[in-house]
């Protein structure tokens, strides 16, 4: 399987900082994958494609083989929380949810914590911080933020990444079977 997320701008930025060491040593990663219920995939696709692709990104950024993987999945919906540890002690947290209200946009964040700072595409202000909040139901979304009267929605990132992956030379995921075996063991234990 190919991983179009390898072309994601924030992944590339973190990869650059890993090579320059201008933020220090990489300590941990946090992946946020949130989509509305109307965009939910089949459970197998959610786990063995979407989660696999983010686990692959984590391994690429950690620059070490996977050591441990712990995961908890909701039995009734595509909601997954996982922690991965790599052989060099870098850890990665995965918060994946495809059960948001249908009025909400896709939300994809990646945060890298370094010994001397962090790099992320997560907004510093807005509905993930104390400066704002969200109210959403199936029909409508209200963002209550101080910073912006017309916040830019993150919709369309998923579709764009899939298109980019088809247009660019996207390699196969190395160690795919090893990562899939770890995922199956952690999720379906």
| Contact call for residues 33 and 106 (beta carbons, < 8 A) | no
Q: What are residue 108's DSSP bridge partners?
A: 33
What pLDDT is recorded for position 139? 77
Average pLDDT (49-58) is: 98
Contact yes or no for 14/54 (Cβ under 8 A): no
Domain count, the chain: 1
Q: Is the pLDDT of residue 151 over 90?
A: no
Residue 72 CB neighbours (<10 A): 11
Q: Is residue 96 part of a domain?
A: yes
Domain presence at residue 161? no
Of 87 and 133, the structure prediction assigns the larger pLDDT to 87
Flag whether pLDDT at 166 surpasses 90.
no
Q: Is the dihedral of CA 118, 124, 130, 134 positive or negative?
A: negative
| Residue 144 within any structural domain of the chain | no
DSSP state of 28: E
51: pLDDT strictly greater than 80: yes
Q: What are phi and psi of 163, to 5 degrees?
A: -70, -45
**pLDDT attached to residue 67:** 98
- Domain containing 93 equals 26-122
- Give me the pLDDT at residue 11, please: 94
Quick check: 164 and 50 in contact, CB under 8 A?
no
Q: Which two tokens stand for residue 40?
A: 């939910």
Paired sense of beta strands 117-120 and 26-36, if any: unpaired
Whether residue 181 lies inside any domain: the answer is: no
Provide the pLDDT for residue 167: 83
HEC profile for 75-127?
A: CCCCEEEEEEEECCCCEEEEEEEEEECCCCCCEEEEEEEECCEEEECCCCCCC
Say how far apart CA 133 and CA 58 lie, in whole Å: 29
- Kindly state the average pLDDT of the residues 80-97: 98
Residue 131 pLDDT more than 50? no
pTM above 0.75, yes or no: yes
* 153 in any annotated domain: no
Residue of higher predicted confidence among 180 and 167? 180
- The CATH number of whichever domain residue 63 belongs to comes to 3.30.360.10
In a domain, 76, yes or no: yes
For 58, what's the count of Cα atoms within 13 Å in the CB-facing half-sphere?
Answer: 35
Mean pLDDT of the chain: 86
Is 129 part of a structural domain of the chain? no
Q: Residue 159 falls within a domain, yes or no?
A: no
């Amino acid at each position: 399987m190919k991983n179009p997320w390898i072309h994601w701008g924030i992944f590339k930025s973190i990869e650059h900082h890993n090579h320059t060491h201008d933020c220090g040593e990489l300590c941990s990663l946090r992946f946020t994958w949130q989509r509305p219920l109307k965009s939910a995939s089949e459970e197998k696709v959610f786990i063995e494609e979407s989660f696999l692709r983010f686990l692959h990104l984590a391994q690429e950024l950690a620059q070490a083989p996977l050591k441990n993987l712990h995961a908890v999945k909701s039995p009734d919906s595509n909601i997954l929380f996982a922690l991965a540890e790599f052989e060099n002690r870098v850890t990665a947290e995965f918060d994946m949810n495809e059960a948001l209200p249908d009025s909400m946009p896709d939300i994809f964040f990646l945060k890298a914590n370094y010994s001397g700072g962090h790099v992320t595409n997560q907004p510093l202000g807005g509905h993930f911080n104390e400066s704002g909040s969200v109210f959403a139901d199936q029909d409508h979304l209200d963002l209550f933020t101080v910073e912006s009267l017309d916040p830019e929605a993150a919709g369309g990132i998923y579709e764009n990444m899939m298109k980019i992956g088809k247009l660019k030379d996207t390699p196969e995921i190395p160690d795919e079977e090893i990562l899939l075996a770890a995922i199956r063991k952690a999720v379906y234990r």
